[in-house]
Amino acid sequence: MACSVHHPTLVLPFISSATSPKHRQCSLWKIFQKAELHTFTASKPRIRPLMAVAGNKDTQKSREKLYLGMDFGTSGARFALIDQHGTIHSEGKKEYPLYQNEERIDWARSWKTTLFALLEDVPDHLRAFVAAISIDGTSATTMIVHSSTGEPLWRPFLYNENCPDALDFVKSIAPANHTVCTGSSTLCKLVSWWNNDDSNRKSALLLHQADWLLWLLHGKLGVSDYNNALKVGYDPEVDSYPPWLLAQPFSQILPSVIAPGTAIGSLKEDIGTQYGFPEDCIVCAGTTDSIAAFLAAGATKPGKAVTSLGSTLAIKLLSTKRIEDARFGVYSHRLDDKWLVGGASNTGGAVLRQIFTDEQLVKLSEQIDPSKASPLDYYPLKAVGERFPVADPNLSPRLHPRPESDVEYLHGILESIALIEAKGYSLLKEMGATQVEEVFTAGGGAKNEKWTEIRERVLGLPVSRAMQTEAAYGAALLAFKGAQQ
């Protein structure tokens, strides 16, 4: 198979969570607001100490319900347990155990092991109050499983895996510049598998990472959400797979699609019994990890945006208009009656860590004057190739000339990344998206105050750190949503 994969980065994929006319469910944001979750942007959610929540038996009997969210990222997974007010009662994380299978990492086994390890890490005295569970996963991480047993028929295709062997065919059937018209799309992965494994076609089912992990909990095969299904070609605006996709022979293995946060079914009895979760605990449809991160940030109005500064830079803007163009790596997820538009650049923290240690980054940043523009002009990339806002697979990194002063050098790099961010938001505006008014920051870069001040100057916008930066928190909000239906 001609697919290729790059080492995972900390990019947060893309987001959507809309009310589907097909399902007629309450607005996600109205439900959150009813539960007072709209106050998150004004005051930081509380974290209740574990000693305070243990209580006595009488206290536990009257205890309010809790909602469990799990985030499966590129190198590990996290959980967050919240109540209806957004209070965090417990949280934790696990790195993936890297099992080997024929000289490859057995990702399916690693994810499954981590899922149950996270359930084990939920404090014993809180499990009986968990009313709902949801999971987010990396966008376009694709699994081909047996339609009856759920067992993988092929190794998982990771989110950043490229399948150029399928791209020409996908471009021939999809509308011009559609989201699927990139080698890393779920549809390209499906077509690549279809052309290389005809022996399992009749018994196959396509699922995304989050879908499969949720199936392990609820036991109903063949269910996805329209955030994860976007990159296989699902159209969230009309709430269906398009005719050009349904006309293909491989459409038979596509999952059914529901809105993120929709209740799928009860937690499997054996799992509930083993871990001490209640009989009426439900499992809800998930989303992608960056959508969960956007939900966690609490950016609920058009013009609000979230920039994720991890290993790479990703921007997401809440817009009243849908924007999509594969030529620029721009696409939209549905978010209630709005659209979450954005893209992901290859610049970001990974470049900084190639040059400086974490300690150097802290000390050098302290010496930067963020009010002054750097005269240095860079395009910081870890390797050749850019996705957004310049779509050029041959774009070379530009990190020279290097001044004698490391402070000046870091200043130049931070400012250059900020200029790329600004160009991204400018591109979205040119394409018709809502004008950005305020930016919340997630990821490790959110901790660098001098960089925040540089970005405020370059963007000409208020920039602040998101109150909640963990995608697991957003997944917990989806669990809460499902429990209110």
The predicted pLDDT at position 102 comes to 77
Band (4; pLDDT cuts 50, 70, 90): low
Band (404; pLDDT cuts 50, 70, 90): very high
Q: Distance between CA atoms of 167 and 184, rounded to whole angstroms?
A: 9
Between helix 449-459 and helix 406-430 the angle, nearest 10°, is: 40
Q: Label the pairing between strands 88-95 and 142-146.
A: unpaired
Most confident of 22-31, 50-59, 331-340: 331-340
DSSP label of 274: H
The predicted pLDDT at position 326 comes to 85
The per-type count for the chain, helices as H runs and strands as E runs, is 16, 19
pLDDT in tens, 181-210: 988 899 999 999 999 988 899 999 999 999
Report whether pLDDT(60) > 60.
Answer: no
Report whether pLDDT(10) > 60.
Answer: no
Band (58; pLDDT cuts 50, 70, 90): very low
Q: Which of 315, 357, 272 is nearest to 441 (CA)?
A: 315
The predicted pLDDT at position 234 comes to 98
Strand (E) or helix (H) holding 210: helix 209-218
pLDDT, the chain, mean: 87
Specify whether the CB–CB gap between 27 and 259 falls below 8 A: no
Q: Which two tokens stand for residue 241?
A: 């797979």
Higher model confidence: residue 440 or residue 444?
440
Amino acid identity of residue 322, one-letter, is R
The predicted pLDDT at position 2 comes to 62
The predicted pLDDT at position 41 comes to 35
Q: Which of 421, 425, 417 is nearest to 377 (CA)?
A: 417
Higher model confidence: residue 117 or residue 17?
117
Specify whether the CB–CB gap between 470 and 91 falls below 8 A: yes
Per DSSP, the residues of 90-157 read EEEEEEPP--EETTEE-HHHHHHHHHHHHHHHS-HHHHTTEEEEEEEE-TT-EEEEETTT--BSSPPB
| Torsions phi, psi for 150 (to 5 deg) | 80, 0
Give percent above pLDDT 70 in the chain.
87
Q: Distance between CA atoms of 458 and 420, rounded to whole angstroms?
A: 10
Question: Picking from 204-218, 357-371, 382-396, which range would have the lowest pLDDT averaged per residue?
Answer: 382-396
Q: Which two tokens stand for residue 70?
A: 């799990």
The predicted pLDDT at position 385 comes to 86
Report whether pLDDT(146) > 60.
Answer: yes
Longest C-alpha distance within the chain, in Å? 68
Q: Dihedral sign for Cα 136, 139, 141, 144, please.
A: positive
Report whether pLDDT(170) > 80.
Answer: yes
Report whether pLDDT(24) > 60.
Answer: no
Cβ atoms within 10 Å, residue 331? 25
Q: Give the distance, in angstroms, between the CA of residue 370 and the centroid of all CA atoms in the same chain.
A: 30
The predicted pLDDT at position 161 comes to 87
Band (308; pLDDT cuts 50, 70, 90): confident
Report whether pLDDT(167) > 50.
Answer: yes
Q: Which two tokens stand for residue 138?
A: 């990396």
Report whether pLDDT(457) > 60.
Answer: yes
Residue showing tokens 């860079």 = 378
Task: Give the start-end residues of each E strand in 209-364.
Answer: 223-225, 256-258, 263-266, 282-284, 287-288, 304-309, 313-319, 331-335, 338-345
Report whether pLDDT(85) > 80.
Answer: yes
The predicted pLDDT at position 443 comes to 80
Mean local confidence (pLDDT), 62-86 = 91
Cβ atoms within 10 Å, residue 460? 9
Q: Alpha carbon of 46 to those of 39, 72, 85, 145, 282: distances in Å?
A: 11, 24, 9, 41, 25
Contacts 24+ apart (CB under 8 A), 271-278: 271/119, 271/217, 275/119, 275/120, 275/122, 275/127, 276/124, 276/127, 276/128, 277/127, 277/128, 277/130, 278/128, 278/129, 278/130, 278/131
Give percent above pLDDT 90 in the chain.
71
Mark 264-280 as b/e (b = at least 16 C-beta within 10 Å): bebbbeebbeebebeee
Question: Picking from 39-53, 102-116, 313-327, 376-390, which range would have the lowest pLDDT averaged per residue?
Answer: 39-53
Band (337; pLDDT cuts 50, 70, 90): confident
